[in-house]
Amino acid sequence: MEKNIINCHTHAFNFTCVPDAFLSNYVQRIIAQIAAGLLRVRWLSRPVLFLVKALANNKTKKMIDFLLIGTSKSVEDVFTELRKGYQGIYPNARMVILTMNFDYMTQKGSSGLFETQLAMIKDLKRKYPDVCLPFLGIDPRMEEHGVELISYLHSYFNKTNYSGFVGLKLYPSLGFYPFNPQLEKVYSFAEEHSIPMMTHCTPDGAYYADSKVPESLQIPVSFNYLTQYSDLPDGVFEAIQELRQTIMHNLDKKPADFCDFFLHPLNYWDVLDKFPKLKICLAHCGGEETIVGGNKGTTAERWYQNVKEIVTRKAFANTYADVSFVLYRDDVIEAIRKDMDANPLLSQKLLFGTDFFMTTRYVKEFDLVENFRKKIGETYWHQLAIVNPRKYLTSDFFNAQLI
Ligand SMILES: [Zn+2]
């Protein structure tokens, strides 16, 4: 019998989990305020959403499905919709559910929303203990808001009262760099216990929702500054320097554009230099445009190249990337397949995931899965959807080899 596949990247939350300010990623702030209130009235949500979609700016249109599914359904409904297509062929498919902390996407903050989301996901885990593999969202700003991160991690990851959460999720575009000093202890804990981390790594994403990202968040402060004597591949130190200088010259950029600096794959060298055994997945391989774009642009512009350099580096044995979201394009699948042919090590470091429900705008979840399987071929499918996820997800707290 075929072993159980694992989708390493999905989301299941609804509009009750996000602050009103989230809408300002899509439409003007003033409209966002009004629309957010109306969207929370169930029978109004469809027409209002229709209006929001019509008004949304192009850059953020691809994120609109967060709202489309999220306004009218419960978290369990979203989860059921995700599993619907799988059940015929993969009745025991496992789903990594990534929670996201939106509480600090504005200066004012919105306390409690993330806890609401976690409560819903804990319910889901209770109902579907084998299928649902939740990741806990971590934001370094939790520490300044009274959450002591280490005891927080201990409360979820301990053997006597294990929560069932299997990994940690970062979403830097909401306003922090991966090398934020508050995250050092998180990486240290994760590395020590082989806990898998997932981080969003593509230009664009949900971003800081005030009109300006505060300078205190923009200025890159790292727990591990690299030097020209650090052990890095050729050109990486220079590219990092260039990126940091570009950041300092672009502090006046709007949050929608500035968020790319938070997300950049070059940011992970600081982290991995200090924690080379860290188990971390750079989601989306740096984005579809940079995958099919090949070697175009400067080193700093070649996100996919940077991601590959990190995941195939021998010293970083536990780094991964996933094909979630970007797998909706056949040319992307083709490019990735060729790269795996050329470098077998890469095939051991890529994970299958879909990014449900971000992709549902383009194609139905299950069509996406079957198309990917067909185009990538059986050998790679087995590697990316079964072998690699088991290795990635296994920690001191969870044995994914038994799935
Ligand atoms: Zn995602």
Residue 230 C-alpha to ligand 1 middle, in angstroms? Answer: 32
Q: Are the C-beta atoms of residues 9 and 355 closer than 8 Å to each other?
A: yes
Nearest CA to 258 out of 174, 328, 192, 343 is that of 174
- Tell me the three state secondary structure of residue 126: helix
Q: Are the C-beta atoms of residues 226 and 232 closer than 8 Å to each other?
A: yes
State how far the Cα of 165 lies from the Cα of 87, in Å rounded to an integer.
Answer: 23
Count CB-CB contacts under 10 A for residue 44.
Answer: 14
Q: Does 321 fall in a domain? A: yes
Tokens of residue 355, six digits: 């990014």
Nearest CA to 220 out of 242, 190, 235 is that of 242
pTM: 0.92
Average pLDDT per 10 consecutive residues for the chain, totaling 403 residues: 85 79 70 70 71 67 60 83 89 95 88 90 96 97 94 96 96 96 98 98 85 94 96 94 96 92 97 98 94 80 94 98 95 97 98 87 85 97 98 97 86
Q: Are the C-beta atoms of residues 103 and 13 closer than 8 Å to each other?
A: no
Residue 315 C-alpha to ligand 1 middle, in angstroms? Answer: 27
Specify the number of domains making up the chain. Answer: 1
State how far the Cα of 69 lies from the Cα of 138, in Å rounded to an integer.
Answer: 24
State how far the Cα of 128 lies from the Cα of 268, in Å rounded to an integer.
Answer: 34
The CA dihedral of 307, 324, 70, 203, to the nearest 10 degrees, is: 30
- Helix and strand numbers (H, E) in the chain are 20, 8
Scanning the structure block, which residue is given the tokens 């709007």?
A: 254
Its domain, for residue 391, covers 6-12+74-397
Q: Does 67 fall in a domain? A: no
Tokens of residue 241, six digits: 């320097």
Whichever domain contains 245, its CATH number is 3.20.20.140
The pLDDT score that the predictor gives to residue 347 is 98
State how far the Cα of 55 lies from the Cα of 51, in Å rounded to an integer.
Answer: 6
The pLDDT score that the predictor gives to residue 264 is 96
Residue 228 C-alpha to ligand 1 middle, in angstroms? Answer: 34
State how far the Cα of 340 lies from the Cα of 377, in Å rounded to an integer.
Answer: 12
Secondary structure of 22-47 in the HEC alphabet?
HHHHCCCHHHHHHHHHHHCCHHHHHH
Scanning the structure block, which residue is given the tokens 């799935």?
A: 403
Q: Does 54 fall in a domain? A: no
The pLDDT score that the predictor gives to residue 298 is 77
Residue 148 C-alpha to ligand 1 middle, in angstroms? Answer: 26
Report the greatest alpha carbon distance in the chain. 61
The pLDDT score that the predictor gives to residue 384 is 98
Q: Does 69 fall in a domain? A: no
Residue 283 C-alpha to ligand 1 middle, in angstroms? Answer: 7
Phi and psi at residue 170, to the nearest 5°? -115, 145
Scanning the structure block, which residue is given the tokens 């691809």?
A: 62
Residue 227 C-alpha to ligand 1 middle, in angstroms? Answer: 33
Residue 200 C-alpha to ligand 1 middle, in angstroms? Answer: 7
Tokens of residue 286, six digits: 């740096």
Residue 295 C-alpha to ligand 1 middle, in angstroms? Answer: 25
For residue 167, the surrounding DSSP H or E stretch is: strand 167-170
The pLDDT score that the predictor gives to residue 93 is 96
Cα 320 to the center of its chain, rounded Å: 12
Residue 69 C-alpha to ligand 1 middle, in angstroms? Answer: 14
Q: Does 22 fall in a domain? A: no
Q: Does 373 fall in a domain? A: yes
